[in-house]
Amino acid sequence: MVKESNNSNDTKDMIDGNSEKKMEICYTCGKEFDMNNDEGAHYHYGEFPMCGYCSNFYGFYKEDLEV
């Protein structure tokens, strides 16, 4: 059954499957971000949250660029 909603965020969440927000504070820059919706965000060394901007800036997750 599909949930009807007028909220575009709810619709996007149903499509992406990320209905829950997981707010974290980046260990590097201090920015608050949603771990589930920030592309490139990850836990550095498995425990330190890092936003997508810092991940890209510091060069983490560059599998596509490796030969």
Residues sharing a CB contact under 8 Å with residue 29, sequence separation 6 or more, in sequence order: 51, 53, 54
CA distance 42 to 8: 26
Predicted local confidence at residue 19, as pLDDT = 64
CA distance 31 to 54: 10
Q: What is the pLDDT along the chain (67 residues), one digit of tens a residue?
A: 444 444 444 444 444 555 699 999 999 999 999 999 999 899 988 999 999 999 999 887 655 434 4
